[in-house]
A and B are shown apart, each in its own frame.
Chain A
Amino acid sequence: MSILVIAEHHHGQLADSTAHVVAAAQAIGGDIDILVAGENIAGVAESAAKLAGVGKVRVADDGVYAHQLAEPMAELIAGLADDYSHVLAAASTQGKNVMPRVAALKDVAALSEVIGVESPDTFLRPIYAGNAIATVQSSDALKVLTVRTTAFDAVETTGSAETEAVTAEVDNTLSRFVGEELASSDRPELGSARVVVSGGRGMGNGENFKLLDGIADKLGAAIGASRAAVDAGFVPNDMQVGQTGKIVAPELYIAVGISGAIQHLAGMKDAKVIVAINKDEEAPIFQVADYGLVGDLFEVLPELESKL
Chain B
Amino acid sequence: MKVLVAVKRVIDYNVKIRVKPDHSDVDLTNVKMAMNPFCEIAVEEAVRLKEKGVASEVVAVTIGPKAAQEQLRTALALGADRAIHIETDDKVESLTAAKLLKRVVDDEQPGLTILGKQSIDTDNNQTGQMLAALAGMGQGTFASEVQVEGDDVQVTREIDGGLQTVALKLPAVITTDLRLNEPRYAKLPDIMKAKKKPIDVKSPEDMGVAVASSLSVLKVESPAERQGGTKVASVDELVDKLKNEAKVIA
Chain A interface (Cβ < 8 Å from any Cβ of B) = 10, 67, 69-71, 74, 92-94, 96-105, 107-113, 122, 126-140, 173-183, 189, 191, 195, 219, 227, 230-231, 237-238, 243-244, 246, 251-252, 262-263, 269, 272-275, 281, 286-294, 300, 303-304, 307-308
User: Which residue in B144, B160, B168, B220 is a CB contact (below 8 Å) of A92?
Assistant: B160
A109→B214 contact, CB < 8 A: yes
Q: Which chain A residue has the least Cβ–Cβ distance from B126?
A: A100
A153 to B215 alpha-carbon distance, docked (Å): 26
Contact (Cβ within 8 A) B231 A252:
no
Name the segment of B73-81, B188-196, B235-243 touching the other chain.
Answer: B235-243
In the bound complex, residues from chain A placing their C-beta under 8 Å from that of B125 are 96, 100, 112
Which among A74, A100, A135, A178 is the interface contact of B166 at CB below 8 angstroms?
A178
Residues in A neighbouring B248, C-beta threshold 8 A: 195, 251-252, 272-273
With known contacts A71-B139, A97-B141, A132-B221, A176–B167 Cβ distance under 8 A: yes
Question: Closest approach, in angstroms, between the C-beta of B162 and any C-beta of chain A?
Answer: 4
Q: Is the CB of A103 within 8 A of B95?
A: yes
Taking CB atoms, residues of chain A closer than 8 Å to B162 are 180-183, 238
B134 surroundings in chain A (CB, below 8 A): 104
* B169→A252 contact, CB < 8 A: no
Which residue in B124, B142, B213, B246 is a CB contact (below 8 Å) of A97? B142
List the A side residues contacting B177 at CB < 8 Å: 237
Q: Give 21 CB contacts A-B under 8 Å.
A: A10-B161, A100-B133, A101-B130, A103-B95, A103-B126, A104-B133, A110-B94, A110-B95, A127-B123, A133-B222, A135-B220, A174-B169, A174-B172, A176-B166, A180-B162, A238-B159, A238-B162, A252-B248, A274-B226, A289-B229, A292-B232
Chain B residues with Cβ below 8 Å from A308 are 239, 249
In the complex formed, the residue of A with least CB distance to B136 is: A174
Q: How far is the CA of A183 from the CA of B162 in the complex (A)?
A: 6
Contact A100 B216 (CB under 8 A): no
Please tell me if the beta carbons of B235 and A307 are within 8 angstroms of each other in the complex: yes
Known: A70-B129, A70-B141, A104-B130. A128 touches B214 (CB 8 A): no
B30 beta carbon closer than 8 Å to chain A = no
Interface of chain B: mostly helix, strand, loop or mixed: mixed
Docked Cα-Cα span, A230 to B241, in Å, equals: 31
A104-B98, A174-B168 as given contacts; A112 in contact with B126, CB under 8 Å: yes
Chain A residues, CB < 8 A from B131: 104
Residue B104, interface by CB 8 Å: no
Assembled-state Cα–Cα distance A304/B134 (Å): 54
Contact (Cβ within 8 A) B242 A275 = yes
Q: Is the CB of A237 within 8 A of B238?
A: no
Contact partners of B235 in chain A: CB under 8 A: 293, 300, 303-304, 307
| A294 engages B133 (CB within 8 Å) | no
A100-B130, A175-B167 known; A290-B229 Cβ under 8 A: yes
Given A128-B121, A252-B249, CB of A134 within 8 Å of CB of B220:
yes
Q: Which 3 A-B pairs have the closest CB atoms?
A: A174-B138, A104-B130, A182-B162
Within 8 A of A (CB), among B163-215: 163-169, 172, 177-179, 213-215
Compute how far the CA of A262 lies from the CA of B16 in the bound complex, rounded to whole angstroms. Answer: 8
Q: A109-B214, A237-B144 are in contact. Are A101 and B139 (CB under 8 A)?
A: yes
Contact of B216 among A137, A189, A238 (CB under 8 A): A137
**A122 and B218 contacting across the interface, CB-CB below 8 Å:** yes
Contact of A304 among B129, B157, B239 (CB under 8 A): B239
Given known contacts A173-B169, A178-B167, A230-B178, what 7 new A-B pairs fall within 8 Å (CB)?
Answer: A67-B164, A92-B160, A132-B220, A175-B168, A181-B163, A183-B161, A292-B229
Question: When the two chains form their complex, are residues B228 and A286 in contact, meaning their CB atoms are under 8 A apart?
Answer: yes
B29: Cβ under 8 A from any A Cβ: no
Nearest B-chain residue to A124, judged by Cβ = B221
Min CB gap B154→A, angstroms? 6
Q: How close is B221's CB to chain A, nearest CB, in angstroms? A: 5
